[in-house]
A = this chain, B = another copy of it.
């Protein structure tokens, strides 16, 4: 076995361990991890199925966890949980990038850490599990991966993103609104990253974050600012409804 083959074999073993699922047919696993730049037998059709497994599984988790929220609130929550940013984050935690099969161009340009490629592979993996076992097994994989994230959702936020919650939190405290500023752009093309600063004005608090999109970086700075605000300026407990 060549050194690269051994490395890829180990990466496949690791992905299965992280997913909590062992494949009977490794061809399904391989295809889920194959980008279109590598082979005609790539993961895009899998992604079509995996996307809907993810949507259903997260929908059901939210439906069960938040019996009092409306359809609109549940939809917004789900959108935050199944978007590219979150999927790419999960893929990074599972080290999916090490197991990807990419064409040489994508390989050189760092495709193994590109959010869109990681997110697509993540969805394709859910489909691969459903093909290798069944729908319910794939749903169980999604539930395991999302359990912690859903436990940490505050239903009063109703799926609002960090920027919105920060703005509302500052308004409730009569504090000045945040200013977001791009302070740097690193890399080029699909590899570009944005460094964004969030400035809370006269409070003196500033924070920076890096992301593959301006939006992603802004949301991250907002989350940090939100944590800081809630720690240092706690509101009196609000009455339960």
Chain A residues with CB under 8 Å of chain B are 44-45, 47-49, 51-53, 55-56, 59-60, 63, 69-71, 74-75, 135-136, 139
Distance from A84 Cβ to chain B, minimum over Cβ atoms (Å): 16
Complex-state Cα separation, A60 to B139, whole angstroms? 15
Give the number of times this chain occurs in the complex, counting copies.
2
Given A49-B59, A135-B136, 8 further pairs, Cβ under 8 A: A44-B70, A45-B74, A48-B63, A49-B60, A52-B60, A55-B56, A56-B135, A135-B135
Distance from A79 Cβ to chain B, minimum over Cβ atoms (Å): 12
Residues of B within 8 A of A51 (CB): 59
Most buried by B among A48, A55, A63, A74: A48
Residues of B within 8 A of A139 (CB): 135
Identify the closest chain B residue to A60 (Cβ).
B49
Subset of 14 A-B contacts with CB under 8 Å: A44-B70, A45-B70, A47-B71, A48-B63, A48-B74, A49-B56, A49-B63, A51-B59, A52-B60, A56-B56, A56-B135, A135-B135, A135-B136, A136-B136
Let me know if B48 and A59 touch, CB within 8 A: yes
Let me know if B49 and A52 touch, CB within 8 A: no
Distance from A30 Cβ to chain B, minimum over Cβ atoms (Å): 18
Residues of B within 8 A of A44 (CB): 70-71
If the complex has contacts A48-B75, A70-B45, A71-B44, are A56 and B53 also in contact, measured as CB distance less than 8 A?
yes
